[in-house]
Amino acid sequence: MQSVRLWSVRHAHGFLRIYAFLEKYIPWIAPLAKLIGLSRAERVMRPLERLTKAFLFDCMMCGECVLSSTGMACTMNCPKQMRNGPCGGVHGDGGCEVKPQMRCVWIDAATGAQNIAGSGAELTTDAMPVLPPRNHVHEGRSSWLQVICGKPTVEPIRKFSEDDVVVHTPGSLENACHSGRFVVTVEVAPPDSADPAALIARAARFRGLVDAINITDGAGGNCHMSSVAASAILAAHDLIPVYQVACRDRNRIAIQGDILGAAALGVQNILCLTGDDVSQGDHPEAKPVFDLDAVSLLRIARGMCDRGLYASGRKLDKAPSLFIGATANPFVPPYTDRILNLEKKVDAGAQFIQTQFCFDIGMLEKFMLEVRSRELHKRCKIIVGVGTLGSAKALSWMAKHVPGVHVPAPLLARIAAAADQKAAAKKVCIETIQAIAGIDGVAGIHVMGHRNEDVLAEIIIESGLRQQQLLQIA
Ligand code: SF4
């Protein structure tokens, strides 16, 4: 089946023409379908559609067919049900994060979309538009019948306009981002404890050093204190949290409730993520949810903040006031899709972006060139992820086992050859920060390192960023 699917992607342009032809003429048989009754027509159409599309596209019959927007690749084969582009965990060889033996379906989608656009043509969000979250009620339904009846297979998405915006008071991270100075954020993992003391101690190490502290949400699929609770604890201690929200563990009902709860407890910043798969975590037997992807979550969060509405359209009594971020990973394939995915996130309402670990300045520069050419840095703040590990062995383990991390071989060799590998890794991180600070369009850095707070604080100080900021403020 894989070979037929790849053949269909290679001939995506031809299939699109057939689809366009059918879409034009097939509604002519709508009166016939109505005459025999829509439910009877559905019973006839469904198995026919299932067989044909399963053979040609490995179709999963989600009932909301968007093959023409995904290069004729059925992206519902994605284990995370990503609707709007690849997750950040694609392996360097294009293998899927969850099923490494399978090629990421979004690589097929990008190939198909490129075949449709023509070689050399720039892929745009018109070719691969933002799609709404799945409507699970439609699962198994015939999309062909929808087309025959002249109905769209998915509801069109309403674009945000300035008129939508409910005015809100910006928090300190938002102010820092708009001040023009280079911002610094750091990542802290919540504790495996019901006692908040350890969390407060870890986070307090960064008081006065950073603009905000990200609280991870079950990073790597591992269980810790909830991100919403840990963020609220920091907010209560005058530390500025970024509440990370992963789609892996909760459906849209639970997530929207948590967003309201976080805002009610003084949280002003959220980061919308799809989330790592459960297979690498400490509960690999758990059921992943992935009701939403990050793009859909962003749109829902913006709708709550800017229009005071739940995803269902029901009105909130008071809209939350949040600075809303998302992630990007310029360092793994499919590279053409990465910029498109960022653009979709910005269109969906991302106000800031934090990237995966940057160990390759050349790749970042290439990505930022694209960002600047599409002027995305003017619409959202790009904060680049950096980090350090104590040895070449640890770094190489991370490159192999943490989805979406790319570490160039020469960098590994440089750290491995050093007498003091920890000092060498720290030096590399500081050099990387200084190089990043010189790239046009980058708004700041996001420092990450699991339970390594002291070294991260030293890196922030020794890279000169804090002094640089104080000078700029003065
Ligand atoms: S790598 Fe990610 S986006 Fe691609 S198929 Fe796997 S889970 Fe889906």
In CATH, what number is assigned to the domain containing residue 364? 3.20.20.220
Mean pLDDT of 193-214: 96
Q: Per-residue DSSP letters for 272-326?
A: EE----GGGSS-TTSPP--SS-HHHHHHHHHIIIII-B-TTSPBPSS----EEEE
- Mutate which of 60, 82, 134 for ligand 1? The one with the most ligand atoms within 8 Å of its CB, which is 82
Q: Is residue 349 part of a domain?
A: yes
Provide Rg for the chain, Cα atoms: 23
Instruction: State which amino acid sits at residue 184.
Output: V
Is the same domain home to 255 and 309? yes
Give the single-character DSSP code of 442. E
Residue with tokens 């690999």: 284
- Mutate which of 78, 274, 356, 402 for ligand 1? The one with the most ligand atoms within 8 Å of its CB, which is 78
pLDDT reading at 468 higher than 50: no
Mean pLDDT of 393-407: 89
Q: Is residue 154 part of a domain?
A: no
Q: Residue 464: enclosing H or E segment and its boundaries?
A: none
Alpha carbon distance, N-terminus to C-terminus of the chain: 64
Residue 91 makes CB contacts below 8 A (sequence gap 6+) with: 97, 100, 332, 403
Q: Is residue 369 part of a domain?
A: yes
pLDDT reading at 164 higher than 80: no
Q: Is residue 92 part of a domain?
A: yes
Say which range, 16-20, 127-131, 141-145, 192-196, has the weakest mean pLDDT.
127-131
Top-confidence residue, 116 or 120: 116
Is the same domain home to 68 and 183? no
Is the same domain home to 196 and 323? yes
Instruction: State which amino acid sits at residue 338.
Output: R
Task: Give nearest CA residue, ligand 1 atom 6.
Answer: 96
Provide the domain limits for residue 290: 164-473
Task: Give nearest CA residue, ligand 1 atom 3.
Answer: 86
Best-predicted range by mean pLDDT (12-16, 113-117, 441-445): 441-445
pLDDT category at 162 given cuts 50, 70, 90 is low
pLDDT of residue 473: 41
Is the same domain home to 374 and 454? yes
Q: Give the other-Cβ count within 10 Å of 447's Cβ.
A: 27
- What is the share, in percent, of the chain residues with pLDDT greater than 90? 74
pLDDT category at 467 given cuts 50, 70, 90 is low
Is the same domain home to 108 and 249? no
Is the same domain home to 249 and 217? yes
pLDDT reading at 371 higher than 70: yes
Collapsed DSSP state (helix, strand, coil) of residue 261: helix
Q: Is residue 194 part of a domain?
A: yes
pLDDT of residue 163: 65
Residue where a domain stops, chosen among 89, 121, 148:
148
pLDDT reading at 474 higher than 70: no
Residue where a domain stops, chosen among 120, 148, 176:
148
Q: Is residue 158 part of a domain?
A: no
Is the same domain home to 352 and 455? yes
Mean pLDDT of 402-418: 92
Is the same domain home to 118 and 209? no
Say which range, 15-24, 49-58, 78-87, has the weakest mean pLDDT.
15-24
Residue 366 makes CB contacts below 8 A (sequence gap 6+) with: 330
The Cα–Cα gap between 154 and 378 comes to 31
Q: 145, 30 in Cβ contact below 8 A?
A: no
Residue 441 makes CB contacts below 8 A (sequence gap 6+) with: 368, 371, 372, 377, 382
Mean pLDDT of 423-439: 96
Is the same domain home to 347 and 199? yes
Number of structural domains (the chain) is: 2
The Å distance, Cα 100 to ligand 1 centre, comes to: 9
Phi, psi of 242, rounded to the nearest 5 degrees: -110, 110
The Cα–Cα gap between 204 and 206 comes to 5
Dihedral (C-alpha) 25, 31, 37, 41: value to the nearest 10 degrees? -20
Residue where a domain stops, chosen among 99, 118, 148:
148
120 φ/ψ sector (left φ>0, alpha ψ -120 to 50, else beta): left
pLDDT reading at 368 higher than 80: yes
Closest approach atom of ligand 1 to CA 107 = 4
The tens digit of pLDDT for each residue in 327-339 reads 999 999 888 889 9
pLDDT reading at 281 higher than 70: yes
The Å distance, Cα 106 to ligand 1 centre, comes to: 7
Ligand 1: list residues with CB < 6 Å. Answer: 78-80, 82, 86-87, 89-90, 96-98, 104-106
pLDDT reading at 448 higher than 90: yes
Closest approach atom of ligand 1 to CA 81 = 8
pLDDT reading at 115 higher than 80: yes
Q: Is residue 382 part of a domain?
A: yes
pLDDT of residue 160: 59
Q: 80, 277 in Cβ contact below 8 A?
A: yes
pLDDT reading at 472 higher than 50: no
Give the chain's mean pLDDT.
91
Is the same domain home to 297 and 420? yes
Is the same domain home to 220 and 114? no
Is the same domain home to 6 and 135? yes
Mean pLDDT of 389-401: 88
Best-predicted range by mean pLDDT (131-135, 432-436, 468-472): 432-436
The Å distance, Cα 305 to ligand 1 centre, comes to: 29
Q: Is residue 58 part of a domain?
A: yes
Selection from 299, 357, 370, 366 nearest residue 329 by Cα: 357
